[in-house]
Amino acid sequence: MAEDLANTEPQQDAADIPLLRIDAVVKKFGTFRAVDRLSLDIRAGEFFALLGPSGCGKTTLLRMLAGFETPDQGRILLGGEDIAQMLPHQRPVNMMFQNYALFPHLSVRDNIAFGLKRAGMPSPQIDTRVAEMVALVKLEGLEKRRPDQLSGGQKQRVALARSLARRPRVLLLDEPLAALDKKLRESTQFELMELQRRLGMTFVIVTHDQEEAMTVADRIGVMDSGRLEQVATPRELYEAPVSRWVAEFVGDVNIIEGQLETREAGRLTVSTRDAGTIAVAEPRHAVTKATLCVAIRPEKVKLSRRGPVSDPPHSHAINRLEGVVTDVSYLGGVTSYKVKLDSGAVLRSSMANTARIDIDAYSAGQRVVAWFTPDDCVVLEQ
Amino acid sequence: MSARNIFTRPARLAAIAPWLWMLLFFLVPFGFVLKISLSQTAIAQPPYVPVFDLTQGAAAVKAALAALSLDNFKLLVSDDLYVLSYLRSLVVAAVSTSILLLIGYPVAYGMARLPQRWQGVAMMLVIVPFWTSFLIRIYAWINILQHDGLLNKILLALHLVSAPVVWLSTDSAMYLGIVYSYLPFMILPLYATLAKMEPALLEAASDLGSSPRQAFWLVTFPLSLPGVAAGVLLCFIPIVGEFVIPDLLAGSDSLMIGQTLWLEFFTNKDWPVASAAAVVLLLLLVVPLILYDRLQRRQLEQAR
C-alpha cells in the first residue's frame, strides 16, 4: 500500500519550472543554523505548508521569502529571478502576519488600500480593488471600522484581504489561524483552501498544527533543525513517513524496534523483543541496516476477542499479538485503547465508533488479540 | 450591615480623596489669589484692601465685597509691559517646545530601537540628571557660559574665537537652559509610545511596498502622535510659567510673565496686580491643560 502512494502524488511536467526555487539556503544566527542548506521547489498554484515544531526554522524560512531576513548562502529564485538580496518592499510577494499586524490608526478600507497606494495605483482603481477584496473576504459594511472595533475573525479577514490586494505572485501565511478558536479555525481553513483554488494563487503557509497543514495543503514540507525531513502529500506523509522522526511527529504511531530476519517475496520478517516476529511489507527503499523500526498507526491495529474473524487468503502473514486492555478513552468518533502485550510492551489502537450501540467496545482488563497486516506496517531505518 | 457596604465605604472615601486634595491645595488657595487680584494695593499688613473680617459682622463683609473691582485686570490689558510679558512667555514656550521636539524625537526613536538590555541604560542616562538639584544644574550652566567659563576657554583654545563671547544673559543661554532642563519630559513620553509599537507593523508596511522613509511617515509617526502631544504639553505648560531659568540665564531687557509676576510681588509689593497676572496666566494655560487631560483620558480608554 505504501509503495503505491508515490503514484498519487501530482505529476510534475518536465518543462514545468517551479515558481519558487529555494536553493541550498543557509541562515545563521550567531553560530546557530536556523536554516541549514535547505532546498525546495514550490510549483505555481500550489498550496504548500511548512510544518515543524517551534524553533525548527520554518518561520525563518518564510521570513527569508518575504525579505525580512537575508540568507547567508544560497539562492531564492522566483520565476527564475534571484530575490534573495531584494528588500521586502521590492518583492512581488506578500505576507499575512501571525497577529495580523493591522495598522491600528487606519480603517479597514485604508488597511486594504495601503499596499495599492504604495504601488501607485490610481484611486478609482483602488476603490474597485478594495471593494473586490472586501467582497472576497465577506467584510461588507465594515469598511470604515478601525481594527480595534473588529472581532478576531474579522481582523483575520482584513489581514487576508490586505495581503491579497496587491495580487502577489506568492502569498506567505505565518500561522494565520493560530489566534482563532477551534471551530472558527476549522471553517476558516476550508475558506482559505476555497479561496486559493478560486484565485489560482500560490500559497505558502507556516504552521505547527499538523491537522491544519494536512487540511489545507497540497504538499507539506516537514522541517526539523533547519532541514526538510520530508516533502510529500499529506497522505504520503502519514502513510509513508521516511523517518522515525516524521512518523512520530505527524500523528500517533506505535514504534517497534527489531532485527531483520528474513526477506522473501516482498515480505520481510523482523524479530522484535516487544512483539515477537512481525511480518512487514518490503519498503520501496532498499533496506540496508539490520536494525529496523516498524511503525504502525493506531487505527491500523484492530482488536478482536479471537483475532481476525474470517481469515483472508494470506492469513499466515497477519500479525497477531495477545494482550490485556489497560486503558480505554472514548473520544466520540473513535475510541482509543492501550493494550499491554504479554511481552510487557504497550500497543495503542484506535477504533472508529461506527455503531451507536457499543457491541464492539472492549473494557479495561479484557484479554484481546491485536492484529495488523504486513501492509499496515512501515519499515524505517531509524 | 451587608457585605457590600463594607467594601463600598472605603471605596467611596478613596474616590473623594483626590477631590479633597484639589479643594484644599488648589481651589482654596486659588480663591485667595482671586480675591487679592480684585483688591487694591495699600501700605498695610497685609498690603491690600479690603480685608474680610468676619468678626465685624455681615455689614462689614458686604462693604468689603462692594470694594472689590476689576481694576487690576484692566491694568494688565492696558499696560504693554504685561501684554508683552505674556506674549514673550508664549513665544519662548513655543520655540523651546519646538526645539525640544526636534531633539527629543530622534533621541526617543533611537532609544526605542536599541537592543532591549541597552534601553534600560539609555533610560537611566536620561533620568540621572534629576538626581542633582535643578538649581545646581542651572548654576553649573552659568559657570560654563560666563565670560571666563569653560565654553569660552575651549573656544579660545581651539582658536575658534579671538575674544571671549558673551553667552550669559542672552536668549540663547535661556533657550539652552530650558531645552536642557525639559528634555527628559519630552523624551520619556515619546519613548514610551515608540517602544510599545509592534515591530510587525513596520514589517507589514515594508511588505506592502513602503520604503523605510514611507513606513516612518505612514506608520511610526502617526502612531507616535499621542506621545508627541503628551511631550509637547508636558513641556509647553510649565515653560510658559518658567521663572528661574530666564531669571538666571536670560538678559533683563524683556521679561517672561513669571519674572514680571515676581517683580510685582516682591519688588513692587503690589500683591493685587501680581495676583491678577497669576489668574490670567492660569486662564491662558487652561486650554492646553484641558487638551492634555482629554488626551490622557483617551489613552486610558484605549488601553482598556
3-state secondary structure chain B: CCHHHHHHHHHHHHHHHHHHHHHHHHHHHHHHHHHHHCCEECCCCCCEECCCCHHHCHHHHHHHHHHCCCHHHHHHHHCHHHHHHHHHHHHHHHHHHHHHHHHHHHHHHHHHHCCHHHHHHHHHHHHHHHHCCHHHHHHHHHHHHCCCCHHHHHHHHCCCCCCCCCCCCCHHHHHHHHHHHHHHHHHHHHHHHHHCCCHHHHHHHHHCCCCHHHHHHHHHHHHHHHHHHHHHHHHHHHHHCCCHHHHHHCCCCCCCHHHHHHHHHHHCCCHHHHHHHHHHHHHHHHHHHHHHHHHHHHHHHHHC
Same domain membership, residue B163 and residue B139 = yes
Which band of pLDDT confidence, cut at 50, 70 and 90, is reported for residue B303? low
Of A214, A251, A268, which Cα lies nearest the Cα of A381?
Answer: A268
Question: Is position B81 within any domain?
Answer: yes
pLDDT in tens, A244-255: 999 999 999 999
Summarize the confidence of residues B156-179 as an average pLDDT: 92
pLDDT at A311: 56
- Contact between residue B130 and residue B213 where contact means Cβ atoms under 8 Å apart: no
Report the number of distinct structural domains present in chain B: 2
Query: Is A266 or B211 the better-scoring residue by pLDDT?
Result: B211
Same domain membership, residue B109 and residue B57 = no
Rg (CA), chain B: 25
Same domain membership, residue B78 and residue B62 = no
- For the domain with range A252-380, which CATH number is right: 1.20.120.80, 3.40.190.10, 2.40.50.100, 1.20.1440.230? 2.40.50.100
User: Is residue A346 scored above 70 in pLDDT?
Assistant: yes
Helices then strands, each counted (H, E), chain A = 8, 20
Last residue of one domain, picked from the residues B52, B69, B86? B69
Question: Is position B12 within any domain?
Answer: no
pLDDT at A2: 43
User: Is residue A193 scored above 90 in pLDDT?
Assistant: yes
Same domain membership, residue B46 and residue B175 = no
pLDDT at A9: 43
Pick the range with the lowest mean pLDDT from A202-216, A349-363, B111-125.
A349-363
Select from B203, B211, B223 the Cβ nearest to the Cβ of A105: B223
ipTM of the predicted structure? 0.83
Summarize the confidence of residues B220-226 as an average pLDDT: 93
User: Is residue A8 scored above 50 in pLDDT?
Assistant: no
Same domain membership, residue B246 and residue B210 = yes
The one-letter amino acid code at A255 reads: I
Question: Is position B279 within any domain?
Answer: yes
User: Is residue A314 scored above 70 in pLDDT?
Assistant: no
User: Is residue A361 scored above 90 in pLDDT?
Assistant: no
Which band of pLDDT confidence, cut at 50, 70 and 90, is reported for residue A12? very low
Question: Is position B107 within any domain?
Answer: yes
> CATH number for the domain including B176?
1.10.3720.10
pLDDT in tens, A82-134: 999 999 999 999 999 999 999 999 999 999 999 999 999 999 999 999 999 99
Query: Is A284 or A231 the better-scoring residue by pLDDT?
Result: A231
Residue ranges making up the domain that contains B49: 39-69
Total count of residues recorded for chain A? 382
User: Is residue B191 scored above 60 in pLDDT?
Assistant: yes
Same domain membership, residue B197 and residue B127 = yes
How far, in Å, are B38, B43, B151, B153, B156 from residue B163 at the CA level? Answer: 52, 50, 12, 10, 7
Summarize the confidence of residues A138-154 as an average pLDDT: 93
Question: Is position B135 within any domain?
Answer: yes
B200/A97 CB distance under 8 A? yes
Domain ranges for chain A: 2-244, 252-380
- What angle in degrees, to the nearest 10, is found between the helix axes of B134-145 and B171-195? 130
Instruction: Spell out which residues of chain B touch residue A115, defining contact as CB-CB under 8 Å.
Output: 207-209
Query: Is B205 or A306 the better-scoring residue by pLDDT?
Result: B205
Residue from A64, A89, A149 whose CB has the most chain B CBs within 10 Å, to mutate: A89
Select from A101, A119, A162 the Cβ nearest to the Cβ of B203: A101
pLDDT at B279: 94
Same domain membership, residue B168 and residue B132 = yes
Question: Is position B14 within any domain?
Answer: no
Q: Which residue of A has its CA nearest to B223?
A: A105
Phi, psi of B42 (to 5 degrees): -155, 155
Which band of pLDDT confidence, cut at 50, 70 and 90, is reported for residue B212? very high
Which band of pLDDT confidence, cut at 50, 70 and 90, is reported for residue B107? very high
Pick the range with the lowest mean pLDDT from A37-41, A366-370, B65-69.
B65-69
Average pLDDT, chain B: 89
Inter-chain CB pairs, A–B, below 8 Å: 57
User: Whole-model pTM?
Assistant: 0.82
B208/A66 CB distance under 8 A? no
Cell of B236: 509647553
Q: Which residue of A has its CA nearest to B301?
A: A148
Select from B209, B222, B302 the Cβ nearest to the Cβ of A89: B209
Number of Cβ atoms within 10 Å of the Cβ of A55: 14
Summarize the confidence of residues A157-183 as an average pLDDT: 93
CATH of the domain spanning A2-244: 3.40.50.300
pLDDT at A74: 95
